[in-house]
């Protein structure tokens, strides 16, 4: 559970580091939703933002 006012884009770096430490596998790509704004992603992780096309 995270504290109020902390958004996902501010915790991505910590989550990636913790996951790498837990699994022993280097994360090279992260998939995020469209609300992600690019804060705190460790380099050289490639962050891919999901895209849902709008109906015509």
Structural domain range at position 22 = 8-49
Is residue 3 in some structural domain? no
Is residue 56 in some structural domain? no
> How many structural domains are present in the chain?
1
Is residue 1 in some structural domain? no
Look at 55 and 12; give whichever has higher pLDDT.
Answer: 12
Look at 21 and 44; give whichever has higher pLDDT.
Answer: 21
Q: What confidence score (pLDDT) does residue 21 get?
A: 95
Q: What confidence score (pLDDT) does residue 32 get?
A: 84
Is residue 34 in some structural domain? yes
Is residue 24 in some structural domain? yes
Is residue 54 in some structural domain? no
Which of 43, 40, 39 is CA-nearest to residue 29? 43
Decide: pTM greater than 0.75: no
Q: What is the pLDDT of residues 6-39, one digit of tens each?
A: 555 578 888 888 999 999 999 999 888 887 777 6
SS (H, E, C) the chain: CCCCCCCHHHHHHHHHHHHHHHHCCCCCEEEECCCCCCCCCCCCCEEEECCCCCCC
Is residue 29 in some structural domain? yes
Q: What confidence score (pLDDT) does residue 25 get?
A: 95
């Amino acid at each position: 559970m995270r504290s109020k006012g902390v958004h996902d884009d501010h915790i991505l770096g910590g989550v990636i580091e913790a996951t790498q430490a837990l699994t022993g596998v280097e994360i090279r790509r992260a998939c995020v939703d469209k609300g992600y704004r690019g804060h705190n992603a460790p380099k050289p992780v490639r962050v891919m933002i999901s895209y849902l096309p709008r109906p015509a």
